[in-house]
């Protein structure tokens, strides 16, 4: 009937029940539900004369926990009973379960993780390869088996890889190859980094274990940044104008050769000092205020006069903020010497003033027109004759202001002079 007729005292230590509590009770009452049917099937096989070895099922302990038991036994015709011996294998089963879970986790990491796991022999020949990263290289796990790893490494990186192999064979510590290029199935090069450990003496491995990761995007980003830095450095160092880099306090963090030439000082005497120390007192306030304006994130452009011992230099200054993550961390200033341009403008202005004085002294009407027939100069005599002031006429089209002279000989002569580039002399009478 499947009822307990005798139990040893060990029962209480295993299941928490005394032998008296279980005697006469059906074993099925204490089994977990999913083990009832298969345990009864085993009981039938014992009745048929078979012996029981290493059958495992699970009982509920008196405290509700599950206990895994491994049985051996037989049916005794003499006793008309099942004679069975059970051993508690709960800890053993839990350990095996944890080991299976660990193996499954490792398998999942190998198959679906970013790393490529390789086993190679002491000569560097592939014994095993796996990992989701293999697909990025275009290989299946068996494509490279038996081939030398060095055949797939960029020629420029082979020496580094061989040195790492030599170190690995003579050291118990893991060895890292920071960056090297590996050929894909399509013949392209991908950047990898690898960490290797020597497991040749491990009975379960007997190989060098290499974990590799594709770092192509990172390396290419670094190379691009390096290229940009070199380009900027070249532009900074070779700029014909003075260029300085300041922090928020106005301290010079860098200065190009043109700046050093302008100051007549070596770089060591300039860096880490306030830029104001090198400026005339008169321009310090505007330079400080525009620096803080640039630190608010907007480029600033202005012109200053720099009084020097010999003469005055005029500088066109542009301050450009450098922002990282939305924060301005420094300001570049480009100082262009525009003294010659400034002086030329001064000469032109003085000449223009002289010309204006001369033209204003002319007693006859005098005007100048641009190619669109707009007034670019009007002397006071002409303006008064037409009942206008000089400022009112400047920039306006003469034919629109004086439509009555549009069909005149004056217009025809003006157009011919403009077309031929020759002077015209004529007389004409007209009324405003």
Do the domain assignments include residue 79?
Answer: yes
Whole-angstrom distance between the N-terminal and C-terminal Cα of the chain?
138
Q: Are residues 337 and 366 in the same domain?
A: no
The pLDDT, as a whole number, for residue 148 is 95
Is position 103 within any domain? no
**Any domain includes 235:** no
Distance CA 169, CA 332 (A): 53
- Residue 112's pLDDT is 41
pLDDT for res 106: 52
Percent of the chain with pLDDT over 70: 93
pLDDT value at residue 110 = 47
Q: What is the mean pLDDT of residues 265-277?
A: 93
Task: Indicate the pLDDT class of residue 133, thresholds 50, 70 and 90.
Answer: low
Instruction: Output the pLDDT for position 150.
Output: 95
Structure confidence by residue, pLDDT tens digits, 384-402 = 887 888 888 999 999 988 8
Whether residues 27 and 77 fall in one domain:
yes
336 lies in the same domain as 265 = yes
Task: Look at 17-21, 131-135, 204-208, 360-364 and tell me which has the smallest mean pLDDT.
Answer: 131-135
> Among 38-42, 231-235, 341-345, which range has the highest average pLDDT?
38-42
Phi, psi angles (nearest 5°) of residue 348? -60, -45
Residue 290 pLDDT class (50, 70, 90 cuts): very high
20 plus 117 within the same structural domain? no
> Quick check: helix, strand or coil at residue 209?
strand
Structural domain count, the chain:
4
Q: Which of 63-72, 113-122, 352-361 has the highest mean pLDDT?
A: 63-72
Q: What is the pTM of this model?
A: 0.46
- CA–CA dist 385, 362 (Å, integer): 14
396 domain-assigned: yes
Pair 124, 221: CB distance under 8 Å: no
Residue 100 has pLDDT above 80, yes or no: no
Residues 310 and 398 in one domain: no
- Cα angle 80, 81, 87 (rounded to 5 degrees) comes to 160
pLDDT, position 306:
80
Mean pLDDT of 84-108: 73
Strands 252-255 and 175-183: unpaired
> 136 and 86 share a domain?
no
Section 203-211 average pLDDT: 84
* 306, 341, 376 - which closes a domain: 341
Residue 353 pLDDT > 80: no
Q: State whether 30 and 81 are in the same domain.
A: yes
350 domain-assigned: no
Q: Is residue 351 one of the residues assigned to a domain?
A: no
Q: Is the pLDDT of residue 381 over 90?
A: no
- At residue 113 the predicted structure's pLDDT band, cuts being 50, 70 and 90, is very low
200 and 290 together in one domain: no
Task: Domain of residue 265: give its range.
Answer: 240-341
Final residue of a structural domain among 67, 94, 121 = 94
Q: Is the pLDDT reported for residue 60 higher than 90? A: yes
pLDDT for res 187:
93
- Both 203 and 245 in one domain: the answer is no
pLDDT reported for residue 101: 55
Task: State which H helix or E strand residue 356 sits in.
Answer: helix 339-361
| Same-domain check for residues 213 and 118 | yes
Q: Report pLDDT for 103.
A: 56
SS3 breakdown of the chain: % helix, strand, coil, rounded to 5? 40, 30, 30
- Residue 314 falls inside a structural domain: yes
Residue 144 has pLDDT above 90, yes or no: no
* End residue of a domain, out of 341, 375, 390: 341
Q: Are residues 69 and 121 in the same domain?
A: no
Task: Identify the pLDDT of residue 109.
Answer: 42
The residues with which 26 forms a beta bridge, in sequence order, are 3
d(CA 345, CA 314): 12
pLDDT (tens digit per residue) in 305-352: 887 666 788 889 999 999 888 899 999 999 998 888 877 877 777 777
30 and 123 in a single domain? The answer is: no
Residue 123 and residue 148 in contact, taking contact as beta carbons nearer than 8 Å? yes
What is the rounded CA–CA span in Å between residue 347 and residue 344?
5
Q: Identify whether the C-beta of residue 336 lies closer than 8 Å to the C-beta of residue 344.
A: no
pLDDT at 2 over 90: no
Residue 85: CB atoms within 10 Å: 12
- Is residue 87 a part of any domain in this protein? yes
What local confidence, expressed as pLDDT, does residue 231 receive? 81
* Residue 245 structure tokens: 């880099």
* Domain CATH for 89: 3.30.450.20
């Amino acid at each position: 009937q499947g009822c307990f007729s005798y139990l040893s005292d060990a029962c209480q230590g295993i299941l928490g029940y005394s032998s008296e509590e279980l005697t006469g009770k059906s074993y099925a009452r204490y089994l977990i539900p999913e083990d009832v049917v298969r345990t009864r099937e085993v009981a039938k096989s014992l009745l048929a004369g078979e012996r029981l070895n290493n059958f495992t099922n699970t009982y509920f302990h008196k405290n509700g926990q599950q206990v895994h038991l491994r049985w051996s036994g037989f049916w005794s015709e003499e006793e008309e009973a099942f004679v069975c011996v059970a051993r508690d294998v709960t800890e053993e089963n839990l350990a095996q379960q944890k080991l299976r879970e660990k193996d499954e986790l490792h398998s999942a990491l190998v198959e679906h993780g970013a790393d490529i796991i390789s086993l190679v022999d002491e000569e560097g020949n592939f014994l095993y390869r796996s990992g989701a990263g293999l697909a990025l290289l275009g290989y299946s796990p068996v494509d490279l088996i038996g081939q030398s790893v060095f055949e797939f490494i960029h020629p420029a990186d082979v020496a580094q890889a061989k040195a790492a192999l030599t170190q690995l064979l003579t050291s118990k510590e893991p060895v890292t190859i920071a960056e090297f290029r590996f050929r894909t199935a399509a013949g392209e090069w991908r950047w990898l980094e690898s960490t290797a450990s020597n497991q040749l003496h491990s009975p379960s491995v007997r190989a060098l274990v290499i974990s590799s990761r594709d770092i192509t995007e990172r390396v290419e980003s670094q190379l691009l940044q390096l290229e940009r830095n070199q380009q900027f450095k070249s532009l900074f160092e070779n700029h014909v104008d003075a260029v300085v880099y300041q922090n928020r306090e106005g301290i010079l963090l860098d200065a190009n050769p043109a700046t050093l030439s302008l100051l007549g000082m070596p770089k060591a005497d300039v860096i880490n000092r306030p830029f104001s120390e090198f400026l005339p007192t008169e321009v310090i306030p505007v330079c400080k205020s525009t620096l803080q304006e640039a630190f608010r994130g907007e480029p600033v452009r202005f012109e200053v006069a720099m009084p020097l011992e010999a003469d005055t230099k005029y500088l066109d200054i542009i301050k450009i903020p450098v922002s990282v993550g939305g924060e301005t961390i420094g300001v570049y200033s480009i100082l262009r010497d525009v003294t010659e341009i400034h002086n030329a403008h001064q000469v032109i202005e003085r000449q223009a003033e002289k010309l204006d004085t001369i033209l204003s002294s002319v007693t006859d009407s005098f005007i100048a027109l641009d190619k669109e027939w707009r007034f670019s100069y009007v002397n006071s005599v002409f303006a008064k004759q037409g009942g206008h002031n000089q400022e009112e006429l400047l920039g306006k089209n003469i034919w629109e202001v004086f439509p009555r002279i549009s069909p005149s000989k004056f217009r025809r002569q003006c157009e011919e002079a403009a077309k031929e580039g020759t002077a015209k002399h004529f007389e004409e009478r007209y009324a405003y």
